[in-house]
Structure 1
Amino acid sequence: MAVTEAERDAMSRALALAAHGPRGVNPQVGAVILSPAGEVLSEGWHRGAGTPHAEVDALSRLAPGAAAGATAVVTLEPCNHTGRTGPCALALIEAGVARVVYALDDPGVVSGGGAERLRAAGVSVESGEQADAAEGLIAAWLEVQRLGRPHVTVKWAQSLDGRAAAPDGTSQWITGPAARADVHRRRAGADAIVVGTGTVLADDPALTARDGDALLPHQPVPVVVGARETPAEAAVRRHPHAPLFFPSRDLPAVLADLRDRGMQRVFVEGGPTLASAFLAAGLVDEVLAYLAPVLLGGDRLALTDIGVGTITDARRLTIDEWIPLGPDLLAVARPTPPEGS
C-alpha cells in the first residue's frame, strides 16, 4: 500500500517533533498517530534515556481503545526489545494500531526487528518514507551504532614545517584569528573536547567554545586524559560543564565511557602525545590539520610516534576539503580504508 499524503505530512511533523528530543544514548524519534480517516489523533517524541519512546508517548495521550485501527507514523522502526521501557512494537499491537509507516530501520541487533513483529501480528507496515531526512537527523547516533564508539575528530595546528610549538614550547598563536574562530565553531558541534594532562599543564586551556569573548550556546564537556593531577586553579575547572578526568591511557575505555554518557561526537585537541595515541590506536574518523605559513624548526612536532616504522605503514588520508582561513589553510581529511576493505 502506497504512502498517503496524510501519512507523508505526518512524517514531516514527526521529524520536527523528533528534533525536540535530546541527543544522547538514544536516538531522537518522533511519532504521529492518525485516525483511519487520516486525522491527527496524537503526537509524541522521545525525551531522553529512561523516558517513554515516541510511539508510547503518543499513545499515552489517547484514551484506551482510541488507537484501534489507527496508523502510527514514526521516524525510526519501532523497537522490539525490553530495556528501561518495553518494546514499542508490542505497545502498538496491543493498542490496536492497524498500520505503521516509518522512515529508517533500527540498526540495533537487539532493538531491531520491530517491523517483522508487527507484520507477524497482522499490522500493515511501510518503511523508507523520508528516510534521508530521518538519517540526517540522527546521523551522529547512527554512526555510534556502526562504530561502537563516538565519532572522533583529531585537530592540531602546525607550522608549515610540521611543528606545533616553538623550541621554547610557546604555541600561541601559530594560526590566525580566522582559523581560531573556525576551531571554536567546530568545538561547539562536539559533545566532548578531549586533551591530555600535558596540554592542561603547559597551556591551561579553558576548553570552551567561544565567539570572541562570548560563550557559544552549546559547550562540549571537557575531558582530561592522563595520570598527572590537574591543578585546582586550572581554567578547565571553571568550564560551564564539570570536567571529566580519566587517569588512564586506555583510550577505548575512555571512549566507551563517553558513549555510555550519551556523547556521540568527540573533539580531540591536544597535545601531540594524545593526538598521536588516538591515531596509533586507529580511533580517528576525521583529521583537522590547520597549516600556518610560518617556519619554527626544532623538535616540537605536531605528531609523535603513530606506529609507522616504514613508508609502507604510512597512515594514508583522503582529503575531503582544503579550506582557506585568512593566511592559513585547513585540511579536512579522513583515514583512507586499506585496500580490499
Structure 2
Amino acid sequence: METATTAQTAHDRRHMARALELADYGRFSADPNPRVGCVLVRDGREVAAGLHWQAGAAHAEVNALAAAGVAARGATAYVTLEPCSHHGRTPPCVAELIRAGVARVVIAMQDPNPRVCGGGIAALRDAGVEVITGVLEEAARALNPGFVQRMEHGRPWVRVKLAASLDGRTAMASGESKWITGPAARRDVQLWRARAGAILTGSGTVVADDPRLTVRLKPGELAAQAGFPDLPQIHDLPPRQPLRVILDARLRTPPGAQILQTGTVWILTGPEMAQTPAADALRGRGAEVRPVPLADTGAEGGLDLAAVLQELGRAEINELHVESGPGLAGALARGGWVDEWLIYQAPLLLGSNARPLVEWPLARMDERAELEIIESRWVGDTLRLRAHPRS
C-alpha cells in the first residue's frame, strides 16, 4: 500500500492543496457541515472538482463526480475530509465514489464524526480502492476548527473578538467605545461574523451599546472581500445570519433591543428567570428564551459557561464568535474556554481610566496567560492579531 512518504507525496500535496482551496469557498455557507473540497485527477491532470456549498446540498465528492462523468473511472480523488459512509442529510459519498470507478482516494484527514470516523476509509478499501490518508492533514484541520472541536469535545471553537487601543483599552470609563477601529477593520469583522454559526454577547453589551450583531454583506460581497473567485454558485446562495446568543441571567435585555429585530436570537438565562413575565415579553418579540444552569461562582451573569457551550454544541454550532465587554471575555478566559483571540489594535490611546481588554485579575507573573501569535496583518490603519493560548 502506498503511503504519504513515497515519491508521489509532492504530487499528492499539490492536488490536495487545490482541494483545500476549493473547500474554503464554502467558508460562509457550509455550516453546520464541514467545509470540504474534492479534486479528481487522471493521468496527472485535473478532470473535475467540486466543493460542498451548504447543508442539505450535494457533497464535494458528488459535485466533482457529476462534473467528471465517465472521466472519473480510474481517477484519483483528492478529498479534504474522509468521505461519509452513512445516510445523513444526503446519501453516503463512499458509495458514489465506488460506483463511479475511482481507483484511488487521497484523504487529508479522518472524519472526527463518530458516525463516520474510519468507516468511509474501511468501505473504500473493502471495495478494492487504494486509500492514502494524512496528506496536508494539519491544513485540513485548520480549515474546520469548529467542526473538529464539536465532534471531539462537544462544544464550539470559541473565538473572542476585541477592539483595543495601543494601551490595551476597549472603551472609556463611561462605556463609550464607538468607534475604536476604522471602517476597514469593521468591514473585516463581517467576514468573521459570517463564518460563525453563532455570535455570543452579554446583556451588558446589549444594554450599553444596543448592537445588531448581524452580517451586513451579501454572499457575493463576502466572497469578494475574502478574495474568492467570482463563482456563480456563490451568488445563488441565500444570505445567512448566524444565531445571536445573549447571556442574560437577570433578563436585562430590553424588548425593544435592535438585536431582536433580525434573525434568530437565543437569550440564555437562569431556570427561574425563564418562567417570568420578563421572559414572556422577550418571547413576544421573537426571542427564544432558554434556561441554563447557574454557575457556582460569579461568571458572566452568573451562568455556567460550560453548560452554555455544551448547549451550543448540541445546536450544531461549530464556530462561536464572541463580541462582548471585558467581563464576558475575562470569564471565558479564566475558564479556559477561549480557543482563539482576534484583536484589532487601533493607533490611539484611551488612557489609564479606560476599560481593560479583559477582566482577569492576576496577582503574580506566574499566573500570566501566554499566547502564540499565529497571524498579524494590517487592516487599514488597524493591526489585526490572531492568537492561540499556549498549551
Q: Report the alpha carbon displacement of residue 219 of structure 1 after superposing the two structures with TM.
A: 5.7
Would the alpha carbon gap of residues 183 and 154 (structure 1) be closer, same or farther in structure 2, given more than 3 Å must change?
farther
Provide the C-alpha distance between the structure 1 equivalents of 2:353 and 2:382, rounded to a whole number of angstroms: 18
Report what 1:112 is aligned to.
117
Provide the C-alpha distance between the structure 2 equivalents of 1:183 and 1:161, rounded to a whole number of angstroms: 20
Residue 78 (structure 1) aligned with residue 101 (structure 2)? no
Q: Report the alpha carbon displacement of residue 200 of structure 1 after superposing the two structures with TM.
A: 0.5
The aligned amino acid for 1:222 is: R
- Cα pair 2:159 2:321 within 8 Å, conserved: yes
Residue 89 (structure 1) aligned with residue 111 (structure 2)? no
Q: Report the alpha carbon displacement of residue 278 of structure 1 after superposing the two structures with TM.
A: 0.9
Aligned partner (choices 337, 346, 349) of residue 293 of structure 1 = 349
Would the alpha carbon gap of residues 328 and 46 (structure 1) be closer, same or farther in structure 2, given more than 3 Å must change?
closer
- Cα pair 2:185 2:344 within 8 Å, conserved: no
Q: Which structure has more helix as a fraction of its residues?
A: 2
Q: Report the alpha carbon displacement of residue 160 of structure 1 after superposing the two structures with TM.
A: 5.9
Residue 269 (structure 1) aligned with residue 323 (structure 2)? yes
Aligned partner (choices 164, 168, 172) of residue 174 of structure 2 = 168
Would the alpha carbon gap of residues 254 and 272 (structure 1) be closer, same or farther in structure 2, given more than 3 Å must change?
same
Would the alpha carbon gap of residues 54 and 223 (structure 1) be closer, same or farther in structure 2, given more than 3 Å must change?
same
Would the alpha carbon gap of residues 188 and 260 (structure 1) be closer, same or farther in structure 2, given more than 3 Å must change?
farther
Unaligned runs of 5+ in 1: none
Per-residue CA distance 1:239-286 (angstroms, 9 max, x = gap): 4x3333222423334334444555433321211221111111111122
Provide the C-alpha distance between the structure 2 equivalents of 1:51 and 1:3, rounded to a whole number of angstroms: 33
Report what 1:279 is aligned to.
333
Unaligned runs of 5+ in 2: 223-239, 270-291, 293-302
Q: TM-score of the superposition, structure 1-length normalised?
A: 0.71
Would the alpha carbon gap of residues 293 and 47 (structure 1) be closer, same or farther in structure 2, given more than 3 Å must change?
closer
| Count of residue pairs brought into register by the alignment | 324
Q: TM-score of the superposition, structure 2-length normalised?
A: 0.63
The aligned amino acid for 1:188 is: L
Report what 1:26 is aligned to.
33
Report what 2:305 is aligned to.
251
Secondary structure of the residue aligned to 1:189 is helix
The aligned amino acid for 2:359 is: T
- Cα pair 1:33 1:43 within 8 Å, conserved: yes
Report what 2:213 is aligned to.
207
Report what 1:230 is aligned to.
253
Residue 304 (structure 1) aligned with residue 359 (structure 2)? yes
Q: Report the alpha carbon displacement of residue 119 of structure 1 after superposing the two structures with TM.
A: 2.0
The aligned amino acid for 1:103 is: I
Aligned partner (choices 295, 317, 330) of residue 371 of structure 2 = 317
Aligned partner (choices 86, 101, 104) of residue 100 of structure 1 = 104
Q: Report the alpha carbon displacement of residue 224 of structure 1 after superposing the two structures with TM.
A: 1.6
The aligned amino acid for 1:297 is: N
Output the aligned Cα RMSD.
4.5
Secondary structure of the residue aligned to 2:192 is coil
Provide the C-alpha distance between the structure 2 equivalents of 1:146 and 1:186, rounded to a whole number of angstroms: 27
Per-residue CA distance 1:100-122 (angstroms, 9 max, x = gap): 32231224262122223322332
- Cα pair 1:67 1:97 within 8 Å, conserved: no
Aligned partner (choices 185, 188, 191) of residue 188 of structure 2 = 185
- Cα pair 1:23 1:262 within 8 Å, conserved: no
Q: Report the alpha carbon displacement of residue 50 of structure 1 after superposing the two structures with TM.
A: 4.6
Per-residue CA distance 1:145-194 (angstroms, 9 max, x = gap): 56643322223344566554434333334x2526xx31441242231332
Provide the C-alpha distance between the structure 2 equivalents of 1:34 and 1:176, rounded to a whole number of angstroms: 46
**Identity of matched residues, %:** 36
- Cα pair 1:45 1:55 within 8 Å, conserved: yes
The aligned amino acid for 1:99 is: A
Would the alpha carbon gap of residues 132 and 272 (structure 1) be closer, same or farther in structure 2, given more than 3 Å must change?
closer
- Cα pair 1:153 1:267 within 8 Å, conserved: yes
